[in-house]
């Protein structure tokens, strides 16, 4: 396996052997460790010294299902701390099959110039000057690059938001149909890519480099057993293909945890118009697709293709978080408008969550009205047009809050919360506040423990046990993001036997013995490195706090506030 | 006494009969609990993880009031 180091200042690329200490790492562990060791923590995230790292998971490229993840890491211009955001599609698998363990992009091209990194095969990668793509939207970029380099190539790119270096800019990547609809959305990593003058990365998809594997037979056996568990599980084998993640709308709303009208309420009265059941029915009636495969090696097919009444493509994939951020959070119950907003965010290269919440804050501050989907669509279009209001929306909720002098801004470290109100599911309060990533649901999703088994194995409205479950889940997720297993395929590791299969695969690939202790160590090391970077960057435990609205405003219908104390929050990573 | 039971996710497929779109009108008795209602509807309990009564989350031993709208949800995973 190789590192591909790309210097944007000199426009040179260099293949390097992977240092031995990194050989058993991948994904988030690799991006975070490289950022922590190579990027000065106090540097300007949009400056010359920041580095943008792309790393497939440790299992990506192997026979294990649902491992097509690519981690992207850098110092985040949004949070001021370290960032890892991961994306599916085809790019992670393709890079791994070319024997590329990581791409490290450093330096900065001269202003106004724009480049495409074309990775032709396992030995040849070139930077191609492409100023004509600057400012172009992602669907057009993908089309141009497919025409130029080949229809089957994987394209990972930024849109106008990334070119403008806006703080909500995403990095978009093509799915199996070649559409740039998969997003490394969070943390403004698209702005980092834009600051470097890197518009896109084109990756050949025909690589055949076989993975380094100490015991292939053993790995294959465990990966087969893992796949069987994923298929047999009700959620990943039956529910997700049918309804996608949108199935979460109703139960989260019932839990009063569906932030509505900028988190003024926990239930949305228009919920039946945008729940997963309604969405799936509408898609089927119109001839769109549910059970759509979005990523390499996927056997779940949680994706979908949303179409108009006439059956014309609108977007893929319409997911829970966006149905929330562009739906309930802005008071909009029009599924067609949500789908349009989802497409626009992908096309302009914006995080749907940060953008929806930015609009929600604007509405809350009196700019427009909750439920006005037309204004929301106009605001997102304005990002691409580069208007003053567009720049504010593209820079996220904090920028909007400052502009309107409005303090109801549901962010942590500048990043918006996701589709779970921390008052109604208090374990999410801990995760949002303490993860080194800024408010991030995937870093420690503890919704199941708070709601399932008829009302939760922990009391969702109380602090008891929440720090512990968030801590354990965050450590576990840091390891999951390192091996590159899709969140939704975690059913394969939910049992002792299942996680045992993961340990077997770790050991079969690395040739080292690996068990439960090593798994926890891996997760802890990743978080430790990330916290270390954040401390060096100047973040303190004062940054590990939720905004006051979550402590002061009881959330209807349960009228709860966050009760986890600061002291308890600060003990999250005492290990 | 009656309750309207609505099945979400892929639960309609686990209902032994044809599930009507608008939900199931079920005859209930005084002090019937959530757990008893799940049994009455004949959806295997392991398929039901979350239940709401009139829009509010409920526990297994909560009592169903007359005329309640009850929603059954499956186990969820997220991220
Ligand atoms: S389950 Fe969804 S997100 Fe995960 S690999 Fe499959 S299509 Fe991608």
DSSP state of A131: G
DSSP state of A560: B
Mutate to test the interface with A, among B14, B46, B53, B78 (most CBs of A within 10 A): B78
Q: Which atom belonging to ligand 1 lies closest to the Cα atom of A88?
A: 8
Instruction: Compute the distance between CA of residue A487 and CA of residue A40 in angstroms, rounded to an integer.
Output: 31
The yes-or-no verdict on residue A571 having pLDDT over 90 is yes
Kindly state whether residue A82 falls inside one of the protein's structural domains. yes
Report, as an integer, the average pLDDT of A460-471.
98
Tell which of A204, A236, A271 closes a domain: A204
Q: What would the pLDDT profile of A308-350 be if each residue is shown by its tens digit?
A: 999 999 999 999 999 999 999 999 999 999 999 999 999 999 9
Q: What is the pLDDT of residue A80?
A: 98
Confidence of residue A196 (pLDDT cuts 50, 70, 90): very high
Kindly state whether residue A218 falls inside one of the protein's structural domains. no
- CATH number, domain containing residue A288: 1.10.569.10
Report, as an integer, the average pLDDT of A151-178.
98
Chain B residues near residue A87 by CB distance under 8 angstroms: none
Adjacency order of strands within the sheet including A125-129: A125-129, A115-119, A198-203, A154-157, A171-173, A182-184
**Among protein residues, the one whose CA lies closest to atom 4 of ligand 1:** A486
The yes-or-no verdict on residue B78 having pLDDT over 80 is no
Q: Decide if A250 touches B, using CB distance below 8 A.
A: yes
Q: Which long-range contacts (CB under 8 A, 24 or more apart) does A571-574 make?
A: A571/A467, A572/A430, A572/A434, A572/A467, A572/A470, A572/A471, A572/A474, A572/A544, A573/A434, A573/A471, A573/A527, A573/A528, A573/A531
The verdict on A258 and A405 lying in the same domain is yes
The yes-or-no verdict on residue A512 having pLDDT over 80 is yes
Whether the CB-CB separation of B71 and A254 falls below 8 Å is answered with yes
The yes-or-no verdict on residue A363 having pLDDT over 90 is yes
Handedness of CA A180, A184, A186, A187 (dihedral sign): negative
Q: What is the pLDDT of residue B9?
A: 97
- CATH number, domain containing residue A37: 3.60.9.10
The verdict on A413 and A427 lying in the same domain is no
Report, as an integer, the average pLDDT of A541-548.
97
Mutate to test the interface with B, among A232, A426, A454 (most CBs of B within 10 A): A454
Tell which of A419, A447, A474 closes a domain: A419
Kindly state whether residue A47 falls inside one of the protein's structural domains. yes
Burial A507-535, CB ≥16 within 10 A → b, else e: bbbbeeebeeebbbebbbbbbbbbbebbe
Reading the block at residue A117, the tokens are 């990194």
Q: Within 13 A of A85's CA, how many CA atoms are on the CB side?
A: 29
- CATH number, domain containing residue A544: 1.10.599.10
The verdict on A147 and A76 lying in the same domain is yes
Report, as an integer, the average pLDDT of A212-233.
97
Report, as an integer, the average pLDDT of A525-541.
98
Centre of ligand 1 to C-alpha A224, Å, is 18
Q: Within 13 A of A173's CA, how many CA atoms are on the CB side?
A: 31
Kindly state whether residue B15 falls inside one of the protein's structural domains. yes
Whether the CB-CB separation of A207 and A502 falls below 8 Å is answered with no
Containing structural domain, residue B30: 2-73
The verdict on A443 and A475 lying in the same domain is yes
- Which of B13, B58, B73 lies nearest to residue A250, judging by beta carbons? B73
Kindly state whether residue A212 falls inside one of the protein's structural domains. no
**Number of structural domains found in chain A:** 3
The verdict on A386 and A534 lying in the same domain is no
Task: Give every CB contact of residue A509 below 8 A, 6+ residues apart in sequence.
Answer: A58, A59, A62, A211, A212, A213, A214, A219
Kindly state whether residue A329 falls inside one of the protein's structural domains. yes
Report, as an integer, the average pLDDT of A3-32.
97
**Among protein residues, the one whose CA lies closest to atom 2 of ligand 1:** A302
Closest residue on chain B to A480 (Cα) = B79
The verdict on A288 and A322 lying in the same domain is yes
Kindly state whether residue A400 falls inside one of the protein's structural domains. yes
The verdict on A393 and A266 lying in the same domain is yes
Contact A236 B77 (CB under 8 A): yes
User: Among A156, A243, A229, which residue's Cα sits nearest to residue A193?
Assistant: A156
Report, as an integer, the average pLDDT of A84-113.
97
Instruction: Compute the distance between CA of residue A457 and CA of residue A473 in angstroms, rounded to an integer.
Output: 15
Strands A115-119 and A198-203: parallel
The verdict on A53 and A183 lying in the same domain is yes
The verdict on A119 and A254 lying in the same domain is no
Q: Decide if A268 touches B, using CB distance below 8 A.
A: no
Containing structural domain, residue A377: 246-419
The yes-or-no verdict on residue B79 having pLDDT over 70 is no
Kindly state whether residue A287 falls inside one of the protein's structural domains. yes
Contact B10 A238 (CB under 8 A): yes
Residue A147: exposed, middle, or buried by beta-carbon count in 10 A (0-12, 13-18, 19+)?
A: exposed
Confidence of residue A476 (pLDDT cuts 50, 70, 90): very high
Q: What is the pLDDT of residue A211?
A: 78
Contact A487 B78 (CB under 8 A): yes
The verdict on A262 and A339 lying in the same domain is yes
The verdict on A178 and A287 lying in the same domain is no
Whether the CB-CB separation of A353 and A344 falls below 8 Å is answered with no
Chain A residues near residue B10 by CB distance under 8 angstroms: 234, 238-239, 242-243
Whether the CB-CB separation of A426 and A563 falls below 8 Å is answered with yes
Question: Which of A231, A295, A322, A484 should be mutated for ligand 1, with most atoms under 8 A from CB?
Answer: A295
Q: Is the ipTM of this complex over 0.95?
A: yes
Report, as an integer, the average pLDDT of A85-101.
98
The verdict on A391 and A482 lying in the same domain is no
Kindly state whether residue B6 falls inside one of the protein's structural domains. yes
Of how many residues is chain B composed? 79
User: Among B25, B58, B59, which residue's Cα sits nearest to residue B40?
Assistant: B25
- CATH number, domain containing residue B45: 3.10.20.30
Confidence of residue A401 (pLDDT cuts 50, 70, 90): very high
Instruction: Compute the distance between CA of residue B69 and CA of residue B8 in angstroms, rounded to an integer.
Output: 13
Instruction: Compute the distance between CA of residue A115 and CA of residue A151 in angstroms, rounded to an integer.
Output: 19
The yes-or-no verdict on residue A64 having pLDDT over 80 is yes
**Number of structural domains found in chain B:** 1
Tell which of A137, A171, A204 closes a domain: A204
The yes-or-no verdict on residue A117 having pLDDT over 90 is yes
Kindly state whether residue A115 falls inside one of the protein's structural domains. yes
């Amino acid at each position: 396996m190789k590192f591909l180091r790309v210097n944007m200042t000199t426009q040179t690329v260099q293949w390097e052997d992977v240092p031995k200490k990194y050989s058993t790492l991948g994904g988030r562990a690799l991006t975070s460790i490289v950022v922590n060791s190579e990027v000065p923590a106090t540097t300007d995230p949009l400056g010359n010294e920041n580095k943008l790292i792309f790393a497939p998971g440790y299992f990506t490229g192997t026979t294990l299902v649902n491992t097509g993840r690519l981690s992207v890491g850098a110092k985040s211009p949004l949070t001021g701390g370290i960032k890892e955001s991961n994306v599916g599609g085809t790019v992670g698998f393709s890079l791994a099959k070319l024997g590329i363990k990581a791409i490290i992009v450093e330096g900065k091209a001269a202003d106004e110039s724009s480049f495409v990194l074309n990775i032709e095969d396992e030995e040849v990668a070139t930077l191609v000057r492409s100023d004509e793509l600057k400012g172009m939207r992602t669907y057009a970029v993908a089309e141009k690059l497919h025409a130029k380099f080949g229809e089957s190539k994987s394209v990972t790119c930024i849109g106008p938001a990334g070119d403008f270096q806006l703080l909500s800019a995403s990095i978009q990547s093509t799915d199996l149909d070649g559409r740039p609809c998969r997003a490394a959305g969070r943390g403004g990593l698209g702005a980092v890519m834009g600051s470097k003058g890197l518009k896109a990365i084109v990756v050949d998809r025909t690589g055949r480099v076989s993975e380094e594997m100490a015991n292939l037979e053993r790995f294959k056996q465990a990966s087969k057993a893992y796949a069987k568990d994923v298929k047999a599980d009700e959620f990943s084998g039956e529910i997700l293909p049918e309804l996608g993640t949108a199935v979460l709308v109703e139960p989260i709303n019932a839990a009063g945890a569906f932030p509505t009208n900028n988190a003024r309420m926990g239930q949305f009265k228009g919920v039946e118009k945008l729940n997963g059941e309604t969405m799936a029915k509408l898609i089927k009636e119109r001839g769109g697709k549910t059970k759509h495969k979005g990523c390499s090696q996927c056997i779940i097919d949680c994706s979908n293709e949303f179409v108009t009444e006439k059956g014309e493509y609108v977007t893929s994939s319409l997911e829970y978080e966006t149905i929330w951020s562009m739906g309930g959070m802005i008071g909009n119950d029009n599924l067609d408008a949500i789908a349009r907003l989802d497409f626009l965010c992908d096309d302009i290269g914006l995080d749907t969550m940060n953008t929806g919440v930015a609009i929600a804050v604007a509405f809350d501050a009196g700019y427009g009205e909750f439920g006005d989907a037309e204004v929301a669509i106009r605001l997102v279009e304005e990002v691409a047009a580069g208007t003053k209001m567009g720049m504010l929306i593209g820079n996220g909720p904090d920028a909007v809050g400052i502009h309107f002098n409005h303090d109801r801004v549901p962010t942590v470290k500048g990043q918006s919360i996701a589709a779970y109100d921390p008052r109604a599911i208090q374990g999410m309060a801990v995760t949002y506040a303490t993860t080194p990533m800024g408010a991030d649901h995937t870093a420690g999703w503890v919704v199941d423990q708070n709601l399932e088994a008829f009302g939760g194995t922990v009391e969702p409205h109380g602090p008891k046990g929440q720090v512990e479950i968030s801590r354990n889940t965050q450590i576990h997720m840091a390891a999951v993001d390192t091996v590159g297993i899709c969140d939704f395929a975690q059913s394969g590791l939910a049992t002792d036997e299942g996680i045992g299969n993961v340990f077997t695969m770790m050991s079969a690939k690395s040739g080292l013995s690996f068990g439960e202790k090593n798994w926890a160590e891996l997760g802890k090391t990743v978080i430790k490195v990330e916290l270390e970077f954040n401390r060096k960057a100047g973040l303190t435990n004062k940054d590990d706090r939720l905004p006051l609205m979550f402590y002061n405003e009881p959330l209807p219908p349960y009228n709860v506030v966050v009760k986890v104390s600061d002291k308890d929050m600060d003990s999250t990573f005492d290990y | 006494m009656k309750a309207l039971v609505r099945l979400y996710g892929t639960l309609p497929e686990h209902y032994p009969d044809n599930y009507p779109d608008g939900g199931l009108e079920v005859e209930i008795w005084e002090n019937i609990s959530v757990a008893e209602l799940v049994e009455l509807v004949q959806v295997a309990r392991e398929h039901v993880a979350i239940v709401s009564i009139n829009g509010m989350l409920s526990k297994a031993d909560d009592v169903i009031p007359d005329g309640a709208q009850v929603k059954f949800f499956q186990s969820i995973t997220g991220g």
